[in-house]
Every structure is written in structure tokens, then in C-alpha cells.
Amino acid sequence: MEQITEKKKVILSCIQPTGTPTLGNYLGALKNWKALEEDFFSYFAVADLHAITVKQEPKELKERILRTYALLMAIGLDPEKSTLFIQSHVPAHSQLAWLLSCSTQFGELSRMTQFKDKSKAHPENINAGLFTYPVLMAADILLYQPDFVPVGEDQRQHLELARDIAGRFNGNYGNVFKIPEAYIGKHGARVMSLANPEKKMSKSDANTNSFISILDEPNIIMKKFKRAVTDSEAKVRYAEGKDGINNLMGIYSCTTGKSFEQIEDEFAGKGYGDFKVAVAESVIAELEPVQQKFKDLMQDRAYLKECYRTGAEKAQRMSARTLAKAQKKMGFIVD
């Protein structure tokens, strides 16, 4: 009797090439992408078109795009198992974005929180792309008919808009797009700033001691953890009001697999100095294989080029089908 296997669901996630991801990005999301690759039919993209809503220096942008692509491979993503591509290499993203913009209301875009935040951060460059980029994000998602999209709280509003746009388009023209769901998978650590543990760790923080970059050298990682804000109790335990220690315990738990109770037992009678060193060493060990793989990949740019070209071809095949279906439904001549 022939064995029936359940078809894998489709999942999609994108990352902007706006700087090296932090330890928070890695433990909170990127580390878990490898598992997604095994469990789903996966699309992963470097969302380079989104980066230009803020003015970029062309040579730096080009290098960051390549470095971000290499980092995705360095964390373990396999371009033979997943469709791993660069957004701007697939013209259907921009093409579908225009079609969807005509099914998106001005008021919807004006309510987007990130538009308001970025307008305040860059008042000298409030461009049309900054206003409409959630439509491009909707196109990124809907082109590949995903069942799920992993999102953090800061991106949930964008997924809801994509769902609304897809539903409106389907209602106006007939079913074209699958309505994706938010993916709630294994939760990584919510990593907070080392300098201000009430704030989320961010690569845009002006204080470079507040975050760990995935590519930070071991001695830099050690220095930053030694400077991490704690409290005056000098006892390693998880408790309300101990935000700094709670944050370090969360990081240590994520890199060692130990529970908070085990961590408290391990450091009973020891001070914060010993604990900070241990956390730093665990992070250095966690990131070392990623950093080494990244260095190897950046030294073989011909291989990277082969991978992102193949990824673009795979993405183009799927996205072209969705785009053509949308165009036909709207009345365009595509034959």
C-alpha cells in the first residue's frame, strides 16, 4: 500500500540588509530559521528594496546585501533545501506591489506605526516609498502563497495589512492569494539592551556597549558583557526588579539549554563577575561556528553568486505564476 505523506506547509521570512544582526535577532528569530527549513517549504529573502526608504551609500548597500545573504547561509540555511534569494533579483515583487497599491487605502497606510516612527527619525526624508513600503511587504508575502509568516510584535501590523489587502483583492477580482497566518513557533529569548535592560537590544542604539553583534570578536563580546548593567544584590537569581540579571539569565539559558533554576544553582555563592564571564563565554561559543562559516563564505564570492542566482531563479518561477494570475484577474493581457 502506497504511503501517503502530508504536503509541507509554506513559510516565508525576510530580513533587511540594514546592518549586522544582533545577538537578540539571532536568539530571538534567526537561530530558529534552520528548524523552519526542516519543517516547511521555506522561502527566505534579503529584503534589499526595503532598505532604500532611508538614503543609502551605494557601495555600502551592495556589500551589506551580500553580507546579509552570507549570514543567512552561515546560520545554517541550505540553499538546496530552501529558496534563499535577494528580493531585488525578482522583478515580480515590484510589479505586484503596484497592483496591490491600487487595492490599498490611503488611510490604512497613514495608520502604520512604523511610518510614524521612521518619519520622526528621518524628518528630512519622508519619501513616498516610506509611506507605501507596507504594500511592497504585502507583495513579498503574497507572491509565494505562504501558509505562515513568522512575525515579531513590531511586524504584526504589517502582516494584518497584507491579510486585509489579500482579502480585498480576492473579493474584488476572485481568489488569487492565500491568506497567511502569523507563525507562532518556538520562542527564542527576548534579549534586552546590556546598557538599559528595560529596552530591547537594537543595532541602531547609539551606545555600542548596549548590543552584541553576531560578528563581534570574542574580546569585544567579553568586554560588553563585563560592562552589562546589573544591580546591587550580587546574587544570581531571576526576580522582579532584577532586569539586568534576568536578561543575562535569559541569554545564558538560550545558549546553554539550562533552566533558570539550574543557573541559580550553578552560580550559588558566586558574584556577578563570574556570571558575566560565563555568559560571555557561552555566547562566544554559540557564535563561533556562525562567524567562521561567514568568513569562509565571504572568501568565496563566486559560490555566493551561484547560490543567489539559483535562489532568484527558483523564486522567479513561483512568483511569476502568482503575478500572472493576479494580472489576468484584473484584466491585463498576459498571454
What DSSP designation does 182 have?
Answer: E
Residue in 7, 186, 203, 295 annotated catalytic: 203
Q: Residue 284 and residue 101: Cα distance in Å, rounded?
A: 45
Helix and strand counts by DSSP (H, E) for the chain: 14, 5
Identify residue 277 by its one-letter amino acid code. V
Q: Is 329 a catalytic residue?
A: no
- Paired sense of beta strands 41-46 and 83-86, if any: parallel
* Lookup: cell for 103: 487595492
Residue of 101, 91, 42 whose CA lies nearest to 323: 91
Q: Is 118 a catalytic residue?
A: yes
Q: Residue 34 and residue 39: Cα distance in Å, rounded?
A: 9
**Is the Cα torsion angle 211, 88, 145, 166 positive or negative in sign?**
positive
Q: Is 203 a catalytic residue?
A: yes
Residue in 9, 59, 81, 118 annotated catalytic: 118
Residue in 200, 224, 242, 276 annotated catalytic: 200
Cell 496591490 belongs to residue: 100
Q: Residue 43 and residue 247: Cα distance in Å, rounded?
A: 31
Residue environment code for 178-197, b if the CB has 16+ CB neighbours within 10 A, otherwise e:
bebeebeeeebbebbbbbeb
In contact, 326 and 99? CB cutoff 8 Å:
yes
Q: How far is residue 71 from each of residues 154, 296, 321, measured CA to CA in Å? A: 22, 11, 29
Positions marked catalytic: 118, 200, 203
